[in-house]
Amino acid sequence: MNLFPELETNRLVLRNITKDDADSILKYLSDEEVMKYYGLEPFQTIEDAWGEISWYQSIKANQTGIRWGITLKGQGKVIGSCGFHNIVSQHFRTEIGFELSKEYWGQGIADEALDAIIRHGFEQMEFQRIEALIEPPNLPSQKLVEKKAFKREGLLRKYEYTCGKFDDLYMYALLREDFFQS
């Protein structure tokens, strides 16, 4: 069973991203502010968007991740994405990632989308631990995961090399038992 699980919330449908979504993805992933902490340079071409979509498809096919397109109910346009990557199945652990088109910031959309995928991750994918690696200057993402009861566990110094520089990352984690107690 390798069907793509569509998730629905009050305002959102989280669905599979296809090549037909390339224009939408190019639009928000070409924005410097959206890409500031994404680990890639802002996209320039439709080929950049196709490459990102290919990555989404490959992590699903390889069972190392899953990425949902965030859409508003009744509108098909992808306005962001969220999901899991670097799944380590033998340890029941994964990392979470998310981004949203700037025009939808501050409306609680990322919050709502994360609620859905975190619940899916613990209930359906049987994760024990969901991690979030966040650059120290990225305060909005830190606030969002802290609101979801993620705990900051430490600082990973010079952990990633992206966009020509080494980045420190805070390690956050949410454990299954903490999720079900809240």
Q: Regarding the domain with residue range 7-131, which homologous superfamily does it belong to in the CATH classification?
A: Gcn5-related N-acetyltransferase (GNAT) (3.40.630.30)
Cα–Cα distance measured from residue 5 to residue 21, given in angstroms and rounded to the nearest whole number: 18
pLDDT of res. 2: 58
Low-confidence ranges of the chain (pLDDT < 70): 1-2
Q: Read off the tokens for 136.
A: 């120290």
pLDDT in tens, 62-106: 999 999 999 999 999 999 999 999 999 999 999 999 999 999 999
Comparing CA positions, the residue from 88, 92, 81, 141 lying closest to residue 117 is 81
CA gyration radius, the chain:
16
Comparing CA positions, the residue from 129, 139, 135 lying closest to residue 105 is 139
Cα–Cα distance measured from residue 63 to residue 40, given in angstroms and rounded to the nearest whole number: 23
pLDDT of res. 41: 87
Give me the residue spans of the domains in the chain: 7-131
pLDDT of res. 36: 84
